[in-house]
Structure 1
C-alpha cells in the first residue's frame, strides 16, 4: 500500500509485513529548511503506533491510520522519549482509541508519562517483550542516545525492524519511504550542523547493544527508513561519534 494525502503531503507506505511508515513533510522555522516527521503503525491483533506526531499533525496522521484500520482498534501508543514530535498527540490518540495505552520505558513513566497521559501508561523494563499477535516488540533502554534520560527504542522481532527514533535523522522531504542508499552521510551532516546528541560516554556501548539485534530495517523518525545491514550501520555511527570533535 502506498497512499499520499495531497492536502497535507502525508505519505503512507508499508515498509515490511504489517509495518507502515506515515510521513508528513514540514518546513522548519529559520534556516533549518525542509524536514519530515514519521510515525510507524504495526497492524496486528493489538495494533501499535510508534511516535504520535505533533498535536498539529494529528488530523493528518489519524487519516493515514484509518486507511489501514479503524483508529479505535489501536492498543498501544509508544515513543522513544518525551518530546513534542514523539508524544505531543498522545492524549488525542488515547481519546480516539479507548482501549489504547501509552507504552514507554520505566524512566519515562516515572518522570513524565504518569502525569502527562490521560490514562496510566504501561512501562516496559529494559529487554522486556510484548506480543502483539504475529509481531513481538522488545523495549531497549538507551539513556541519552541521542538525548533524554528516558530514551529507548523498540525492536520488532518478526520483521527485524528497529524503531530507532532520532538516530540517523535525515533533513529534507520527498525521500523514498524505504531506501538502501547512504543515510549515515546526510544524518551526520545534519548532526554536525545542528548538534542534537548528548554525547553520552556510553554511546558506543549502547549502539553495540542495538547492533547485536542485527536489524534489517531501521525505522527512522526523520527521513527514509533504511534496509540493509543494520548492525554495520549502527557500528559505523558509533565510529563517527567516537571521532574527536
Structure 2
C-alpha cells in the first residue's frame, strides 16, 4: 500500500535516501524492503543508530551517519539533520528540517490518537496532551519522557520557525510551528515531569 502511494509521486526504485528518527519498527522496520526496491538507496541516520542497530539489524548496505547540523542536499530540497537524543524518545533520536519549505519532520512529537484529518491549522497540542494522558493511564505509560534536556531540544527546534510540522501519528500542522513547539514543551512538562 505504501509502495503504491509512493509510486504516485516517483518511481520507488529511484529513491536515493531513506531517513528516520530512531531505531524502532514503525520508523525503520521496512528499511531492508525499501533498499531492495531502490538498489541505490542509502539510509541516513544518527551515528548512534548506525553503530548500535541499523547496520547490524535492518540495512542491506552501510548507512550514512549524519552529524548534527549537517545538510543532505537532494537537488530540489535541503534537509538539515538535527541530533535530538531522547526527543521524541530513544537515545539515537534525530529529526530532519527541510529548509526550502520550512518543514520539520517530527516523528512521534505531536502524536495524536484516532482517525484524524491529514493536515490541520487547528490545535494539535491539545490532541497530543490527550494522547499523553491516555498513554500514561494505561500500558503505554512512559512512551515519552520530559527533562531539562527535552525543553532545550524543543526550544532549539522552535528557533527553526517551521511552517509545517510533518507528524508521523496524526494530523500534520500547517501554521506557526515555533509557537506549537513551545506549547508542546509546556504540555510535555506539565503532563510528564515527574511521571
**TM-score normalised according to structure 2 size:** 0.91
Structure 1 distance, partners of 2:37, 2:17, is 12
Q: Which of 75, 95, 110 is the equivalent residue of 2:36? A: 95
The one of 174, 180, 185 aligned to 2:126: 185
Task: Quote the residue 2:138 is aligned against.
Answer: none
Q: Deviations over 1:121-162 (max 9, x none)?
A: 011011110111121001101111121000110000000000
Gaps of at least 5 residues in structure 2 are 136-140
Question: Does residue 122 of the first structure (1) align with residue 64 of the second (2)?
Answer: yes
Larger proportion of helix = 2
The C-alpha deviation readout for 1:84-116, integer Å capped at 9, x for no partner, is: 110010000000000101110111111111212
2:166 to 203, 219, 236: 219
Match of 1:236 among 160, 179, 183: 183
Which is richer in strand? Answer: 1
Moved over 6 A (4+): none
| Unmatched runs of 5 consecutive residues or more in structure 1 | 1-59
Assess if the C-alpha contact under 8 Å between 1:217 and 1:226 holds in 2.
Answer: yes
Counting matched residue pairs gives 185
- Root-mean-square deviation (CA), in Å? 1.1
Counterparts of 2:89 and 2:72 in 1: how far apart (Å)?
24
Give the aligned partner of residue 71 of structure 1. Answer: 12
The aligned counterpart of 1:109 is 50
